[in-house]
Amino acid sequence: MNAFGLQTRADMAPRNLSVLLVEDSRVLAERLRETLLSVPGVQLVATVDSEVDAVAALKRQPVDVVLLDLHLRQGTGFGVLRAIPSEQANKTVVIVLTNYDLAEYRRAAAALGARYFLDKLRDFDRLPTLLQQIGAELPGAPAAPDAPERDKLN
């Protein structure tokens, strides 16, 4: 905003979608990093493999998206969901990406604030489109296609 309270071009400029990757498999984490870095407008903030490291990363730097595995080297994705600070919870989109596509896990993740629940094998290739859709919700971002309703938890 300028001195007159009007938006300037800098205020309207799109910003990158910041993503924290929480994945304990080194092979999959590398594949996800490559995928995330190939999506225009996405900035990978950090990659961690445990609940403690994920919580510490979120305390250091709030992010737009947490891409979250449920089974971690130490701790769980559910523990990460519980630890997201309340002031961040409404601003951070959590995408659960798991091999455990179970109804009870979906319900628990939704109850803890996850917005999307994806199966690693079936839904991996849809991740770039979903991130573009989330990024389009940022101020000044161009429109992107809507995510399929079946992935949304809320």
Question: Mean pLDDT for each consecutive 10-residue tract of the chain (154 residues)?
Answer: 52 75 97 96 97 96 96 97 86 96 96 96 95 84 52 59
CB 69 within 8 A of CB 22: yes
Question: Which residues, in sequence order, are bridge partners of residue 43?
Answer: 18
Distance CA(40)–CA(123), nearest Å, equals 19
Q: Position 19: which residue type?
A: V
> Would you state the pLDDT for residue 14?
57
Q: Which two tokens stand for residue 122?
A: 């079936």
Question: Which residues, in sequence order, are bridge partners of residue 42?
Answer: 17
- SS3 state at 46: strand
CB 126 within 8 A of CB 148: yes
**Superfamily of domain 16-151 in the CATH hierarchy:** Response regulator (3.40.50.2300)
> Would you state the pLDDT for residue 21?
98
> Would you state the pLDDT for residue 88?
83
> Would you state the pLDDT for residue 149?
55
Distance CA(140)–CA(13), nearest Å, equals 6
> Would you state the pLDDT for residue 9?
45
- The distance between the two most distant Cα atoms of the chain, rounded to a whole number of Å, is 53
> Would you state the pLDDT for residue 87?
77
> Would you state the pLDDT for residue 2?
57
